Chain A
């Protein structure tokens, strides 16, 4: 601001002299300020010789100094007092303390020097390291950690062990009490598998198939009883169970249905004396309790009884050409004239007596497991049918029975229609049909196999189809000659094996029905062999001849790998060796067959028509076999 007048500022120093005293008249007497030397003295007094020099160590030194002060309480207090006294008396020579401190420092230094000089000589004084029982300072923290960890872990382990101990104690206590208190939990387990109901104070269960659709009149009730014969003092056996089931006496033991096919009919006197072999009990699952196995076995016995009852009922009621015989526990029927099918219920109880008596075991080879299994399946099928929606009445007021049967009233079905509705076949008929089919199939296979093994050339191949019906199987039979399979493909037969007949479908479309006679099939297949040969022979009718030898009765043509002899007459003498030579050397299939079918090597049955070229030279002769004729 240029217009404002400059202000004068005066500066005065603030260092005023200290007032010593104020006179009565107000004059002040000032203390003379300290001179330079006096100031220095004052500062010297304030030096603390106990402190080290250097700014870094000041704090540490200060702390040490503090600790030293705290540690040596008495001496520091004295020191403080002395210093305080010193401050209060400035008339004392100010350098006194400095001089004293320096002097003591000098003394100390001298002493130190003396000691060091003596020690250096090692005559009168030596330096010995202080024995340290602790680890070198570097490793200390790690070991410390280790030790501390160990200790802490030990402490934790102790706690855990204590807890575990407590738990094991409680568990063992539980175990001991468990067997007594566990009837209810075992009962709960039982209830998960079987139907139980309480009648009065008894617990009864149902092991019949009635709820699954069976109509068998057996009650099938078992009783659940508490097992109280436990002796607490003795050791409790491992498989002890507080619960026991009591099954009806006629369902004890194990049973199965034995289905077997025998070729020869046994004597009438032997009927009903089926030797049962005790089948080893099926191994129960490892974890299942003993009552489960018991109940399952009883249920199986019941099912077998039902199957047998159904079969015997049908055997008696159903009229068939050859009546079925029902004797004791066996049903015998004759599916084929020379064949006997026997179905027997083998029920072996668990008594020790019967175990001893049933030592002689009948070979289980003739038991057809497949049919037994099928019987089980069929009866279950029947059970399911009674429960199916076709049988259950809709609406609920309608009568029971097949759905269409219920309609037959309102729709006025006549007898033919009603008959068509009702299932005509019973269990027995089905099983007999299946048995027939199995037998026929196995016999067909045996026939084909025997032919294949007997006849080496041509070869017969049988391809059985994997997917079969219970009443029908099929096999494809190929008759080929070795080496000529691709060419001679014309003999392919499809055999459909039914219940009583075998239907053969030829490649060219002919359908032939064979009966169950074994011989018929064999003859038919043999005739097919011939067909194959005819085809083969026609193809390979010429052989290049290397040399020719003409004799009176025969002509020998030597070919590449053998000799062919041809004679005009029909009967040969000494034929055997010649023919054998041919057999070994020549693999012409037509002559092989000649050997097979003329077993006596009597070529009366063999007629060979041949032609050969006019010019007989060693290389140009070709023999032609046109046809083979067989009787």
Chain B
């Protein structure tokens, strides 16, 4: 588990999501990365049931249950600004039991699927974010394996991102800001994904022409 940066690649002008993804992957291959299979990160949203809300009528909290193929036996559950729980895959079954307390939001499943590339110590994942049948955006995840402290390797990561993202290089993720010197963990990656998915959800749908 190394330091990971998740960012969004905006769709190129006049091109579809797929074409942009292809562009990126070709760049990576030219760079020398080798394909190592596929990956998938998905997210489901639940909100606390109305019955559990207090008389004050506050809005229910949203809980995200996420899976990452990089950690095949784990399940992540997190609140927006709250703690992130790393659990066994039995957690999904548990959620079914907790139907009374957590209700699944409609049409909330969002996922990103794509290919996984290994370039020496870097692990790059370029994926298409889809919500239902429609592709909404492109996610790029870069992991630098050897380092576990964010502050130490951010500059290296940035440089690498620049090499193939060019101008679309993101700034430092928010999670880095919180703890500079603490060990980076998978939960932080999932938080980044959650933020990415939320951002994409709020975005307007990609124009129809772009989907084709």
Q: Which residues on A are within 8 Å of B, measured CB to CB?
A: 399, 405-406, 408-415, 418
Q: How far, in angstroms, from A406 to B90 measured CA to CA in the complex?
A: 11
Q: How far is the CB of A232 from chain B (nearest CB, A)?
A: 65
Q: How far is the CB of A324 from chain B (nearest CB, A)?
A: 27
Q: When the two chains form their complex, are residues A415 and B72 in contact, meaning their CB atoms are under 8 A apart?
A: yes
Q: When A418-B72, A418-B73 are in contact, do A412 and B88 touch as well, CB less than 8 Å?
A: no
Q: How far is the CB of B104 from chain A (nearest CB, A)?
A: 22
In the assembled complex, B75 has its CB within 8 A of some CB on chain A: yes
Q: How far is the CB of B92 from chain A (nearest CB, A)?
A: 11
**Contact residues in A for B73 (Cβ distance below 8 Å):** 405, 408-409, 413, 418
Contact with A along B54-95 (1 / 0, CB 8 A): 000000000000000011111110000000001111100000
Q: Which residues on B are within 8 Å of A, measured CB to CB?
A: 1, 70-76, 86-90, 185-187
Q: How far, in angstroms, from A405 to B90 measured CA to CA in the complex?
A: 13
The list of the 7 closest CB pairs from A to B, nearest first, reads A409-B88, A412-B186, A412-B71, A409-B73, A412-B74, A408-B73, A409-B74
Q: How far, in angstroms, from A413 to B71 measured CA to CA in the complex?
A: 6
Q: How far is the CB of A88 from chain B (nearest CB, A)?
A: 139
Of all chain B residues, the one with the shortest Cβ separation from A408 is: B73
Q: How far, in angstroms, from A405 to B72 measured CA to CA in the complex?
A: 11
Q: How far, in angstroms, from A414 to B143 measured CA to CA in the complex?
A: 13
4 further A-B pairs in the complex, CB-CB below 8 A; given A409-B88, A410-B88? A399-B88, A409-B87, A410-B86, A413-B73
**Contact residues in B for A415 (Cβ distance below 8 Å):** 70, 72
The residue in B70, B71, B75, B187 that gathers the most chain A C-beta atoms within 10 A of its C-beta is B71
**Contact residues in A for B70 (Cβ distance below 8 Å):** 414-415
Q: When the two chains form their complex, are residues A414 and B87 in contact, meaning their CB atoms are under 8 A apart?
A: no
Q: How far, in angstroms, from A408 to B72 measured CA to CA in the complex?
A: 9
Q: When the two chains form their complex, are residues B72 and A410 in contact, meaning their CB atoms are under 8 A apart?
A: no
Q: When the two chains form their complex, are residues A414 and B90 in contact, meaning their CB atoms are under 8 A apart?
A: no
Q: How far is the CB of A605 from chain B (nearest CB, A)?
A: 55
**Contact residues in A for B72 (Cβ distance below 8 Å):** 415, 418
**Contact residues in A for B1 (Cβ distance below 8 Å):** 412, 414
Q: When the two chains form their complex, are residues B71 and A414 in contact, meaning their CB atoms are under 8 A apart?
A: yes
**Contact residues in B for A414 (Cβ distance below 8 Å):** 1, 70-71
Q: How far, in angstroms, from A415 to B71 measured CA to CA in the complex?
A: 7
Q: How far, in angstroms, from A231 to B187 measured CA to CA in the complex?
A: 81
Q: How far, in angstroms, from A493 to B34 measured CA to CA in the complex?
A: 45
Q: How far is the CB of A396 from chain B (nearest CB, A)?
A: 14
Q: When the two chains form their complex, are residues B71 and A406 in contact, meaning their CB atoms are under 8 A apart?
A: no
**Contact residues in B for A410 (Cβ distance below 8 Å):** 74, 86-88
Q: How far is the CB of A65 from chain B (nearest CB, A)?
A: 123
**Contact residues in B for A412 (Cβ distance below 8 Å):** 1, 71, 74, 76, 86, 185-187
